[in-house]
Amino acid sequence: ETIDLVSGDALVLATDGLTEVRNPAGEQLLEPGAMELIARSGPEAQRLADDVVANVRLWAGRSVRDDLAVLVVRVIGTQPYA
């Protein structure tokens, strides 16, 4: 499958520590929760990644026990990418 990215799009890659993190009640964040955190995060790539990690820690209510890595690629410019 191919996805065309245009200026302003962000590609967010994360380890399973993002979706599998648990809050104090034992609930997992899961994909819908992770997508919500991503949507509420800053526009720049570094800010988006930092916001996601910070908000995961807040949601968890404690330190995150699993690995948590987030990579964000923001498309800049007007030329189409293939």
d(CA 44, CA 37): 15
Which band of pLDDT confidence, cut at 50, 70 and 90, is reported for residue 80? Answer: low
d(CA 79, CA 33): 32
26 exposed, middle or buried (CB, 10 Å; 0-12, 13-18, 19+)? Answer: exposed
Which band of pLDDT confidence, cut at 50, 70 and 90, is reported for residue 57? Answer: very high
Structure confidence at residue 22 (pLDDT): 93
Structure confidence at residue 64 (pLDDT): 82
Q: Which of 11, 25, 8 is nearest to 60 (CA)?
A: 25
Amino acid at 47: R
Structure confidence at residue 44 (pLDDT): 94
Report the mean per-residue pLDDT for the chain: 91
